[in-house]
A and B are shown apart, each in its own frame.
Chain A
């Protein structure tokens, strides 16, 4: 509607500015760029000098790199030498024999499968509890949201110190004070990944609490009142009103949590730096492998193949979840 130009407003615009109305020939040019001072002309100008640069940057930064990445994954591109050769499926074939990649892939899947249900279910539970017109809601929001809003590196370092080996770390101290044996939180390969997942859930839970809480608040109160008048218990209200209406948001939250967990990097990186180097390779994940191969060893082609796997696996997860949660 806006771009439909009424001749009247053309005239008035140009005469407002005191610019002489040129007798533009009725041709391609005038239809394309409009008369000087006309709305269409202004819009074309705006598209050209403001919108086109933004969209060009968008394409260059957000779209082209993905195609480029897929292309790179079929080459032997390296940071150590210039020029790259097409090597076909060689990088992908190598992935199948790379035990470190297979471990990273397995760890990433484990990370997603454990952490996503945890953040969604706990987040939903706490949001449902908080949505009862509490007096100190703002205070609780701060408590739950602080770990999320603080950047990952400092909180990961705090947790690393809590997980510190021997009696120094708080986690072991707490275990011992209730009579349980000490645990090698960051050195025992069986436990380390779970230690990282605990930290990850703690860090990100607040986000899901807030997303679900905002969703719950947007459900009209009359719906709940009506159900209660009809004799529904608060459990039934949750089950038959809150949860079904929250369904789209739960779908969004699950997809978002999956993508975030697929690409987890910072926590794993911080946790694997320093004392327990052997555990570092044990808890490696896909994003960590991309960093290692690409930026530590400089194998851009091979790292691109790992990134392509991450990309495709993320897309697959989205499709599966969309199908599963969006059936009706």
Chain B
């Protein structure tokens, strides 16, 4: 009788290990399928052009070459594109953080007539895709004379409904006593934001900033409409343009593609935990 429990315990554990191996193999196979197209692009970018159109492609280049990368600067100013993307994502994120903290704080801690209706309006706009109202947005910036300018590209990205709602949810849990204490100590409302809200909601604010950064970096339709000359192109638009002009140069195209992927991949590897958390909890919806 005393041996019985031991046997029962051993059997499932034994089966468990096999299950685990199988599980890992399934996930690894699926993961490799996910990553393969990206690896293929990276490998292709290091191949000489004869090898790229070969009838018996191999994953690793037979002869490694940098020729595809060396010619990029002669064909399109990717450094400029990178700089433009940086400016657009950076300015947008500053606006989004400031606006979301301010509005989130007010929605969480102020009481006034119409507050809940306004908040409902913010939530409702989260699900509406920007693609459906690019026309009025464009007519707006056209009126301001912002076509083909940073201001025009940044304009619709400075407000993030998700950010306002998400920070409101986060700031609601900041104790009222902390805010009252700061006020008694002579803090203005901006002081409350700086000394109470920012420190207590820093991870939510970081999540919003990161999600907005990734979202604006990947914007395509809007900058495609607004940017009309190469000096305003973002990396995405620049790559599209490059691809259209040099359609048969697969090696060059792949090298340019890899260059475009690098900043966001580095960003992802550095902030992986925060990005995944932020995106999973906010819903990764830039607008």
Query: Is A142 interfacial (CB-CB < 8 Å)?
Result: yes
- On whether the beta carbons of A154 and B261 are closer than 8 Å, the reply is yes
Contact for B99 among A57, A141, A290, A291, CB less than 8 A? A57
- A34 to B: closest C-beta gap in Å: 13
Grouping DSSP codes into helix (H, G, I), strand (E, B) and loop, the A interface class, with mixed when no group exceeds half, is helix
- On whether the beta carbons of A154 and B135 are closer than 8 Å, the reply is no
- On whether the beta carbons of A304 and B135 are closer than 8 Å, the reply is yes
Within the assembled complex, what's the spacing in Å between the Cα atoms of A96 and B137?
26
| From B161, B164, B236, B281, residue with most partner A Cβ within 10 Å | B236
| From B125, B132, B140, B276, residue with most partner A Cβ within 10 Å | B132
Query: Is A74 interfacial (CB-CB < 8 Å)?
Result: no
Q: Mark A113-157, 1 if CB is under 8 A from B, else 0.
A: 000000000000010011010101011111111110111111101
Q: Chain A residues with Cβ under 8 A from B237's Cβ?
A: 153
- Supposing A2-B111, A158-B254, A300-B139 touch, asked if A140 and B31 sit within 8 A by C-beta, the answer is yes
Q: Chain A residues with Cβ under 8 A from B236's Cβ?
A: 151-154
Query: Is A210 interfacial (CB-CB < 8 Å)?
Result: yes
- On whether the beta carbons of B53 and A168 are closer than 8 Å, the reply is yes
- On whether the beta carbons of B103 and A130 are closer than 8 Å, the reply is no
Query: Is B68 interfacial (CB-CB < 8 Å)?
Result: no
- A321 to B: closest C-beta gap in Å: 11
- On whether the beta carbons of B129 and A262 are closer than 8 Å, the reply is yes
Query: Is B287 interfacial (CB-CB < 8 Å)?
Result: yes
- On whether the beta carbons of B257 and A154 are closer than 8 Å, the reply is yes
- On whether the beta carbons of A46 and B138 are closer than 8 Å, the reply is no
Contact for B159 among A62, A140, A158, A294, CB less than 8 A? A62
- On whether the beta carbons of B260 and A47 are closer than 8 Å, the reply is no
- B158 to A: closest C-beta gap in Å: 7
- Supposing A2-B176, A58-B122, A69-B136 touch, asked if A155 and B27 sit within 8 A by C-beta, the answer is no
Contact for A146 among B35, B122, B258, CB less than 8 A? B35
Q: Which stretch, A23-31, A189-197, A253-261, touches the partner chain B?
A: A253-261
- Supposing A47-B106, A54-B103 touch, asked if A3 and B111 sit within 8 A by C-beta, the answer is yes
Q: Chain B residues with Cβ under 8 A from A130's Cβ?
A: 27
- On whether the beta carbons of A1 and B99 are closer than 8 Å, the reply is no
Query: Is B280 interfacial (CB-CB < 8 Å)?
Result: yes
- On whether the beta carbons of A161 and B254 are closer than 8 Å, the reply is yes
- On whether the beta carbons of A146 and B279 are closer than 8 Å, the reply is no
Contact for B129 among A132, A149, A314, CB less than 8 A? A314
- On whether the beta carbons of A287 and B285 are closer than 8 Å, the reply is no
- A152 to B: closest C-beta gap in Å: 6
Contact for B164 among A58, A66, A144, A173, CB less than 8 A? A58
| From A47, A146, A168, residue with most partner B Cβ within 10 Å | A146
Q: Chain A residues with Cβ under 8 A from B243's Cβ?
A: 157, 270, 273-274
Q: How many residues of A contact B (CB 8 A)?
A: 100
B99-120, CB < 8 A from A: 99, 102-103, 106, 109-112, 118
Q: Chain A residues with Cβ under 8 A from B260's Cβ?
A: 151, 153-154
Which residue of A has the minimal Cβ distance to B186? Answer: A16
- Supposing A66-B128, A154-B257 touch, asked if A134 and B27 sit within 8 A by C-beta, the answer is yes
Q: Mark B216-246, 1 if CB is under 8 A from A, else 0.
A: 0110110011000000000111011001100
- On whether the beta carbons of B264 and A255 are closer than 8 Å, the reply is no
- On whether the beta carbons of B184 and A126 are closer than 8 Å, the reply is no
Q: How many residues of B contact A (CB 8 A)?
A: 98
- A67 to B: closest C-beta gap in Å: 9
- On whether the beta carbons of A158 and B257 are closer than 8 Å, the reply is yes
- On whether the beta carbons of A149 and B268 are closer than 8 Å, the reply is yes
Query: Is A265 interfacial (CB-CB < 8 Å)?
Result: yes
- A252 to B: closest C-beta gap in Å: 7
Query: Is B30 interfacial (CB-CB < 8 Å)?
Result: yes
- On whether the beta carbons of B280 and A210 are closer than 8 Å, the reply is yes
Which residue of B has the minimal Cβ distance to A293? Answer: B135
- On whether the beta carbons of B34 and A202 are closer than 8 Å, the reply is yes
Within the assembled complex, what's the spacing in Å between the Cα atoms of A63 and B280?
26
Within the assembled complex, what's the spacing in Å between the Cα atoms of A6 and B220?
52
Q: Chain A residues with Cβ under 8 A from B183's Cβ?
A: 9, 13, 39, 42
- On whether the beta carbons of A50 and B102 are closer than 8 Å, the reply is yes
Contact for A13 among B40, B184, B189, CB less than 8 A? B184
Q: Mark A304-324, 1 if CB is under 8 A from B, else 0.
A: 100110110010001000000
Query: Is B208 interfacial (CB-CB < 8 Å)?
Result: no
| From A157, A294, A303, residue with most partner B Cβ within 10 Å | A157
Query: Is A237 interfacial (CB-CB < 8 Å)?
Result: no
- Supposing A3-B112, A69-B135 touch, asked if A263 and B189 sit within 8 A by C-beta, the answer is no
A259-291, CB < 8 A from B: 259-260, 262-263, 265-266, 269-270, 273-275, 287, 290-291
- Identify 8 new A-B residue pairs, CB closer than 8 A, beyond the known A60-B140, A62-B161, A150-B38: A138-B272, A144-B31, A149-B214, A149-B265, A168-B53, A256-B283, A290-B132, A304-B136
9 A-B pairs (CB sep. < 8 Å): A42-B188, A46-B106, A55-B103, A58-B159, A68-B139, A146-B268, A150-B38, A291-B225, A303-B135
Q: Enumerate chain A interface residues (CB-CB to B < 8 A).
A: 1-3, 9, 12-13, 16-17, 39, 42-43, 45-47, 50-51, 54-55, 57-58, 60-66, 68-69, 72, 77, 126, 129-130, 132, 134, 136, 138-147, 149-155, 157-159, 161-162, 164, 167-168, 170, 173, 202, 205-207, 210-211, 213-214, 252, 255-256, 259-260, 262-263, 265-266, 269-270, 273-275, 287, 290-291, 294-295, 300, 303-304, 307-308, 310-311, 314, 318
